[in-house]
Amino acid sequence: MYREFWQLLIKGYGRLHLIVLIMVLTMAVALLEGFNMGLLVPLLQALETSEREGDHWVSRAFARIFDSVGVPLNLGTILVALAVLVAVLSALKYMRMLLIARVRIGFVVWVRARTMDSLMNADVSYFHHEKVGAIGSTLTTQAAGAGAVLFSITEIVINLGVATAYLVAAFLISPLLAVVALSTMVAVTLAMQFHIRRARRIGDRL
């Protein structure tokens, strides 16, 4: 089913350049999210002390980046960089949201037009055997469902990209803390799934 869906989306609907642009924006947002999280390390160190000895390697890396553009790494420049990153991230996310809406609506309109064109060119005997409700469902509910599937897949890819960026940044900043947090998340998820399945079994018995 998913194979036919992707063939319909890419080969039939086209607009591959918009889908590629959405993926590029997603990767850019994920990268900037990682930089945004990484800047928290020198920010916290700048709030604690003004001494440069014993800096985290992330702070030293950002110091080299700032020095390469002739800007000192201090509390003021870090706050300005964070503000710029937040503004750029907001703009990129807004652009991505508009592109996703454009692709989704355009895809639904194309599916409905394609279906209507097939119905207009169909033989009259087809309508003698097909229910009117099924035809209406194909034009409305199923087309909207195809758009919803496209939106859900896009959201999954976006969330995976952002989560990957945060995980990579967390492992680079503090591997031990990241492992503890990830292990806790997995344990909580498995416990929730166990209780959900248990509740379903109890509900089925009732």
**Per-residue confidence (pLDDT) for residue 138, from 0 to 100:** 62
* Predicted model pTM: 0.67
Residue 204 pLDDT more than 80?
no
CB count in 10 Å sphere of residue 49: 10
d(CA 24, CA 168): 19
Residue 22 pLDDT more than 70?
yes
Q: What is the rounded average pLDDT of the residues 175-183?
A: 79
Average pLDDT, rounded, for the chain = 77
Q: What is the rounded average pLDDT of the residues 119-145?
A: 66
Tell me the pLDDT band of 6, cut-offs 50, 70 and 90: low
The residues near 29 (Cβ < 8 Å, ≥ 6 apart) are: 89, 92, 93, 96, 158, 161, 162
**Per-residue confidence (pLDDT) for residue 88, from 0 to 100:** 92
Give the tens place of pLDDT for each residue, 37-72: 778 778 777 776 555 444 677 777 888 888 888 888
Give the tens place of pLDDT for each residue, 118-127: 777 766 666 6
